[in-house]
A = this chain, B = another copy of it.
Amino acid sequence: MENQLITKIEERLKVTINPKRYRHTLGVVKASIYLAEKYHEDTMNAKIAALLHDFAKDYTRQQLMECVRTYGVVTDNIIMEAHELLHGKVAASIAKIEFNINNENILNAIENHTTGREGMSKLEKIIYLADFIEEGRNYPGVNELRKIAAEDLDKAVLQALNNTIIYVLSIEKLLHPNTLYARNELLLKMKS
């Protein structure tokens, strides 16, 4: 049953996202399964969430808006301005409506992988982090982040959130408050 779902997602993915992003997605699948095994999370849930996290990443703004209308995607003014943040929410709606996935943990992991949020579950943290450390990624600090990811999930997610905040500031884009809320929450947890 789950294997049928995986096959269906993979077939749809290949004709929906570009080959480079497909390779990235397979990298996120691999990293998510690695993190799920390490931190005792369900590997099948991790695989499904990872496969679908960027499903809508190559959608045009028009396609994203069409999904927002058709699927009743709940969004906010920051996401509507910085619409590169929208693809996670749209992908979660597609996962629910087109692939009949009803596991809220999987849906949340897909939805929140672009910004993080306060109160992330372990699966949400795994997908968020896997997106940054998958083997195809190559940016200053990625090896350090991979090292932390192998030792402490929360510490690694906090580092990824901090990196994101600094990066978003440097490119003069809007930063979603959820990224800050997630960062503050994890920082408090690490210090307590």
Contacts and interface: CB of A to CB of B under 8 A. Distances in A.
Interface in A148-192: 162, 165-166, 169, 172-175, 177, 180-181, 183-184, 187-188, 191
Contact of A187 (B172, B177, B191): B172
Which label, helix, strand, loop or mixed, suits the secondary structure of the A interface? helix
**Interface size range of chain A in the complex:** 10 to 19
B169 A165 contact: yes
Nearest to A179: B180
A77 to B, nearest CB: 9
A177 B81 CA distance: 18
A169 B172 contact: no
Given A165-B165, A172-B187, A172-B191, 6 more contacts: A81-B188, A162-B169, A166-B166, A174-B188, A175-B183, A180-B180
